[in-house]
Amino acid sequence: MNKWKRMLCIATLIMLGGLCVSCGVFNEEIPEEVETIEDDLIVVGYSQLGSESVWRTANTNSIEEALSEENGFFLQLKNARQKQENQIKAIRSFISQQVDYIVFSPIEEDGWGTVLQEAQEAGIPVILVDRTIAKRDSDLYTTRVGTDTYWEGEQAGLWLAEDLKKHNESDKEINIVVLQGTIGATSQIGRSVGFNIVANEHKNWRIVAQETGDFTTAKGKEVMDKFIRLYDDIDVIVSQNDDMTVGAIEALKEAGVYVGPNDDIRIISFDAGRAALELVQKGEIDVDIECNPDQGEMLAEVIHKLERGEAVEKEYIVEDKIFTIDNVDEYIEDRTY
Ligand code: AHR
Residue 269 CA to residue 89 CA, distance in Å, equals 33
Ligand 1, atom nearest to 270 Cα: 6
Which of the two residues, 259 and 9, has the higher pLDDT score?
259
User: Are the CB atoms for 118 and 290 separated by under 8 Å?
Assistant: no
For the segment 12-30, the average pLDDT, to the nearest whole number, is 41
Task: Check pocket membership of 214 for ligand 1, CB cut-off 6 A.
Answer: no
Which of the two residues, 4 and 336, has the higher pLDDT score?
336
Burial class (CB in 10 A: 0-12, 13-18, 19+), 43: buried
pLDDT tens readout for residues 61-93: 999 999 999 999 999 999 999 999 999 999 999
Query: Distance, CA 259 to ligand 1 centroid (Å)?
Result: 24
- SS3 of the chain: CCHHHHHHHHHHHHHHHHHHHHCCCCCCCCCHHHHHCCCCCEEEEEEECCCCCHHHHHHHHHHHHHCCCCCCEEEEEEECCCCHHHHHHHHHHHHHHCCCEEEECCCCCCCCHHHHHHHHHCCCCEEEECCCCCHHHHHHCCEEEECCHHHHHHHHHHHHHHHHHHCCCCCCCEEEEEEECCCCCHHHHHHHHHHHHHHCCCCCEEEEEEEECCCCHHHHHHHHHHHHHHCCCCCEEEECCHHHHHHHHHHHHHCCCCCCCCCCCEEEEEECCHHHHHHHHCCCCCEEEECCCCCHHHHHHHHHHHHCCCCCCCEEECCCCEECCCCHHHHHCCCCC
Query: Distance, CA 187 to ligand 1 centroid (Å)?
Result: 6
Q: To test ligand 1's pocket by mutation, which of 48, 52, 54, 56 has the most ligand atoms within 8 angstroms of CB?
A: 56
pLDDT given for residue 39 in this prediction: 76
pLDDT tens readout for residues 292-325: 999 999 999 999 999 999 999 999 999 999 999 9
The pTM assigned to this predicted structure is 0.90
Q: To test ligand 1's pocket by mutation, which of 49, 192, 241, 289 has the most ligand atoms within 8 angstroms of CB?
A: 241
Task: Check pocket membership of 271 for ligand 1, CB cut-off 6 A.
Answer: yes
| Residue 91 Cα distances to 176, 266, 292, angstroms | 40, 42, 25
Residue 207 CA to residue 94 CA, distance in Å, equals 43
Task: For strands 322-323 and 287-290, give the pairing.
Answer: antiparallel
Q: Answer whether residue 187 shows pLDDT above 70.
A: yes
For the segment 192-202, the average pLDDT, to the nearest whole number, is 98
For the segment 221-238, the average pLDDT, to the nearest whole number, is 98
Closest C-alpha residue for ligand 1 atom 2: 187
pLDDT above 70 covers what percent of the chain? 89
φ/ψ of 295, rounded to 5, equals: -110, -5
Task: Check pocket membership of 152 for ligand 1, CB cut-off 6 A.
Answer: no
Q: Answer whether residue 26 shows pLDDT above 70.
A: no
Ligand 1, atom nearest to 186 Cα: 1
Torsion of CA 260, 264, 265, 268, to 10 degrees: 60
pLDDT tens readout for residues 43-54: 999 999 999 999
